[in-house]
Amino acid sequence: MRPCLLVVALALAACAPTAPPMTPTPVEVAPAEVAAPTLARVVPADAWLFAELRDVPGLFRRWAGSDDLAAALGAAMAAEIGISPRDASRFMASIEAVGLMASGPLDDPELALVLGMSQTVAAEQILRESLFEPAPHRAYVLSDATLELLELEASPVIAVEAGMVVLGTNDAVAGIRGLAAGPSLATQASFRAAWAGPPSLLTALFDVGAKLREGPETRPLAARFFATGEPLWLRFDLEPVAQLRLGAELAGPAVPRDLFGPARKLALASRLPSETIAYLAYDSSFARSGDEMMRLLESLGGDELREELGELDVASRAVAGLSLGEVVDALGDEGVIGAMMPTTSHGRGDLIDGSALVWVQELATTPVAQRAVEALFGAMDGLVSKDVVRREGGYDMALEVSGRHVTLAVRRQPGIFVLVAGPPAMVERGLAAVLRGDRQLASHAAHERTRAALDPARVVQWLDTTRALDLVQRERPDIVQSLQRLSRFGEGEAGGAFALAWADTPRGTQVGLQVLDLTTMGLVGAVGIHGVRQYLARSKLAEAEATLRLIGEAGMRGSGVTPRCASSLPVPAEIPQGHRYMPAPSDFAAGGPREGWPCLDVALATPIRFRYRFTAGGPYLGPARGLPDPGPRGFEVAAEGDLDADGVTSLMTMVATPSPVTGRLELDPEIYEADELE
């Protein structure tokens, strides 16, 4: 493990200016200018990014369950850079708060890390003994030998002041040490708004509007969404439950206003069955009419959304005799969509086959709402058959989905509409919980604890983290240990939630996001990272797809009932493993007028991640891996890769085969894949 101090130093060195090390004069640190102690008192007012982590000793104790973490980090630091373990441990134990600031241009910022210290003796001792050498006025820079070793042109500066250690670029550190010449960030109204209320463990602000207004390309975006110039802010706390809050003020011509009434504590989800593992609850009460909401969505969504809404409107009029806007007017205050999963299962198949979906929607008490429900149920009454059965208060439909027998049940009660889809047994349990008013989820302690901690919101997504971890254990056991470690920050069994809220203000629209439970953040992060990795891997396939089509079209030129060109040699000779290969001109020179790459007139000149080959008549790569066989009169274009360098290769092919009508070759537009993300 690299020590925190050294890692940050080396990271900042890459963006340090090339000016010689500064020689600042010591100044008296300005007194605190906000009620709560904060490192912002030593940050210049022109900083556009500032984040502060407080109570570092308490965080260490909470993470490790004791005071041993600071000692362990100190020991690792000492071993890494060859200093006294005693000094290193004293240094780690003396860190009380950590601040990060950025100022200057967005594309070349001045960065600084500020450590609030209970004492700085150990820090100075470490700096004297390590890779840094003294500079004037209690400042330190990397030695020339270290700069040369790390191939850096300039060094970050470390300065020691009373009660703090500052590390950063020359200008950033000079700005902090020379703060007596100007106001601090703590005097700014934007800072005071973000830091209002009880101190948080982690607080941050980012003046996104100001930075967007700096660039001509991004200035229109700032005008459309950030006209008031208020910064984004973030707060993270562990008490009374682990939670993250994000907030922003949006204002401008692209920000709709007057859409909703006051935010509410969404409560309909408490009616869901106990098997619910996750749900999405939403506020469906609008301050505008349904037709106005549809016009707004069309204006914001563009042609594609306008077309989709038009199709839904046609379907709504055909089924219920109501416009889509009138259907929106029929909605009540809130709705919720929940996912049910069996609490006991023997494998992934049981979970999939046993899962059900529950939708509960409150209805408005208006003639339009009554007409909408009557029209829907009247249409279903005309579908009664052996697969559509009348039930008390609604209908059951028998469906087959991907080989599964599924029941879709719809019911109505005064002021409420219910739809449940899934295996018959789960459908019955879902209906019973909602229609009888058992409020089964209301007896779920973790759910109610989470719901009580949520602020009023427009949208809430809840997840039963205990059961979700069990599912992840089956699919991704490698990440469960890390996720369970996060639960040390929780307060016993917890359910996690995301809550999104927005409210109109005289200046703009306040938008807020609240996240409860660190395990939920970890689960979502793990899924997100997995998704990003999949996306990045999939994006690399674009090269292969484009190249296959290029070679396939080249193979078709001049071909009749058989390929015009004979097979080529593969390029490169070996499959690239996790890297890109830069082709040489000689790679595509092998062959002749009727053979290989010269015949195809293909020569790639940019780096490639796959090995490509053109095969006429065989032997082909695809059939052995379940892909199409072009036959003796066809051809195959193949791309082989090893994107993750694990020795398992991917294969993508395009094929041309004789037409059964004309006998002439036809290129199949489909790209066939085997283990394509390998």
pLDDT digits (tens, 9 = 90+) for 540-590: 787 888 899 999 999 999 888 899 999 999 999 999 988 889 999 899 999
Distances (CA, A) of 559 to 200, 216, 331, 555, 612: 71, 52, 62, 7, 20
- Residue 524 reports pLDDT greater than 60: no
- Residue 332 reports pLDDT greater than 50: yes
d(CA 552, CA 541): 16
- pLDDT category of residue 345 using cuts at 50, 70 and 90: low
Residues with Cβ < 8 Å from 346, sequence gap 6 or more?
none
Lowest mean pLDDT among 10-14, 311-315, 636-640: 10-14
- Strand, coil or helix: 430: helix
Q: Which one, of 127, 136, 172, 131, lies nearest residue 150 by Cα?
A: 131
d(CA 101, CA 49): 5
pLDDT in tens, 79-96: 766 677 777 788 888 888
d(CA 215, CA 59): 39
- Residue 487 reports pLDDT greater than 60: no
Mean pLDDT value across the chain: 77
Q: Which helix (H) or strand (E) holds 354?
A: helix 348-354
- pLDDT category of residue 127 using cuts at 50, 70 and 90: confident
- Residue 253 reports pLDDT greater than 80: no
Task: Give the long-range contacts of residues 453-456, CB within 8 A, separation 24 or more.
Answer: 453/240, 453/241, 453/243, 453/516, 454/265, 454/497, 454/499, 454/514, 454/516, 455/263, 455/499, 455/501, 455/512, 455/514, 456/262, 456/263, 456/264, 456/265, 456/501
d(CA 205, CA 223): 20
What's the start-to-end Cα distance of the chain, in Å?
Answer: 30
For residue 137, the model assigns a pLDDT of 56
Tally Cβ neighbours within 10 Å of residue 224: 15
Is residue 581 within 8 A of residue 607, CB to CB? The reply is yes
Total-model pTM? 0.62
Query: Of residues 77 and 372, which shows the higher confidence score?
Result: 372
For residue 150, the model assigns a pLDDT of 45
For residue 131, the model assigns a pLDDT of 56
d(CA 567, CA 565): 7
Instruction: Determine the residue type at 168.
Output: G
Average pLDDT over residues 90-111: 85
- Residue 11 reports pLDDT greater than 50: no
pLDDT in tens, 431-479: 988 988 766 788 777 788 788 888 888 888 888 877 777 766 665 665 5
Q: Which one, of 559, 609, 568, 617, lies nearest residue 588 by Cα?
A: 568
Is residue 674 within 8 A of residue 662, CB to CB? The reply is no
Is residue 391 within 8 A of residue 377, CB to CB? The reply is no
